[in-house]
Homo-oligomer: A and B are copies of this chain.
Amino acid sequence: MTALEAREKRKAQTRERILEAGGQLLLNDGFHGFSMRKLAAKVNYTATAIYSHFPDKDALLGELVEREFIKFRRAFDLTSKIADPIERLAKKGMTFVEFALQQPDAFKFLFMNTQIEAFPKVGLIERGNPAQDCYAYLRSTIAEALAAGRFRPELSDADMLAQIFMSGVHGIVSLHIARGKDPWVKWRPVRQRAKLMVEALIRGLTLPQDERPESPPDTIGTIRI
């Protein structure tokens, strides 16, 4: 059995080598320049050899995208400590922005990619999907603020609110990446834009301080200092 296991291990290693080289290729040549033959050359294989490790190009690209997502989630995790849910939400938004600015290539093919529509059918969705977790983090933060009665009374849908908030910061950075060099726009510094977006959305969606309930709606009757 050790012989079989050794073979499996070797296969896993070449698979890993392919993914590693694929990540580099994607970083250097972008989606447009990525090809199976180029990738194969990087690992000294024929293009067809890759097909014994991945069903097709899209599946391979999907897996590469997943790996970038995992890096992203790691950055996102660090914002979980902040006590106030609205402050935490703001911080998460700025983390999203910072990730996009520091890893623009990863961001491009995670959030501005129009080629790979959905993630691969199998695999990703089963074991906890990192992107799913990111959205789930955002949503749970909002749900917490919602439970504390921080949002305006007509807004009670955590998914809707999470999507609005995410769209806001996403819009800032994706427009910056796509059209941030257009000479006919007097672009303001992108981080200032992001900050104002977060502030404006929070002000537009939450209750002002003097209208907040003393106790959150789901804990009425309990003491809260």
**Residues of A within 8 Å of B, CB-based: how many?**
55
* A32 close to chain B: CB less than 8 A: yes
Q: Which residues of B contact A171 (CB under 8 A)?
A: 166-172, 174-175
* A182 close to chain B: CB less than 8 A: yes
Query: Which residues 167-219 of A sit at the B interface, judged by CB distance below 8 A?
Result: 167-172, 174-175, 177-179, 181-188, 192-193, 196-197, 199-205
Q: Which residues of B contact A192 (CB under 8 A)?
A: 160
A114-B112, A200-B204 known; A159 vs B172 contact (CB < 8 Å): no
Whether A184 lies near B108 (C-beta < 8 A) is: no
* A125 close to chain B: CB less than 8 A: yes
* A5 close to chain B: CB less than 8 A: no
A174-B171, A193-B163, A203-B203 known; A184 vs B131 contact (CB < 8 Å): yes
Specify which of A119, A163, A192 lies most central, judged by the most chain B CB atoms within 10 Å of its CB.
A163
* A117 close to chain B: CB less than 8 A: yes
Q: Which B residue sits closest to A124, measured CB to CB?
A: B184
Q: Which B residue sits closest to A111, measured CB to CB?
A: B178
Q: Which B residue sits closest to A116, measured CB to CB?
A: B178
Q: Which B residue sits closest to A180, measured CB to CB?
A: B117
Q: How many Å from the CB of A72 to the closest CB on chain B?
A: 13
Whether B181 lies near A114 (C-beta < 8 A) is: no
Q: How many Å from the CB of A108 to the closest CB on chain B?
A: 5
* A20 close to chain B: CB less than 8 A: no
Q: Which B residue sits closest to A171, measured CB to CB?
A: B171
Q: Which B residue sits closest to A113, measured CB to CB?
A: B178
Whether B132 lies near A181 (C-beta < 8 A) is: no
A172-B171, A174-B171, A193-B167 known; A182 vs B114 contact (CB < 8 Å): no
User: A residues within 8 Å of B by Cβ?
Assistant: 30-32, 108, 111-115, 117-119, 125, 129, 131-132, 135-136, 155, 157, 159-160, 163-164, 166-172, 174-175, 177-179, 181-188, 192-193, 196-197, 199-205
| A-B contact list, 10 entries, CB within 8 Å | A31-B114, A114-B177, A114-B178, A159-B187, A159-B188, A160-B193, A164-B196, A164-B197, A170-B175, A171-B175
Q: Please give me the 3 A-B residue pairs with the lowest Cβ-Cβ distance, nearest first.
A: A171-B171, A204-B204, A200-B204
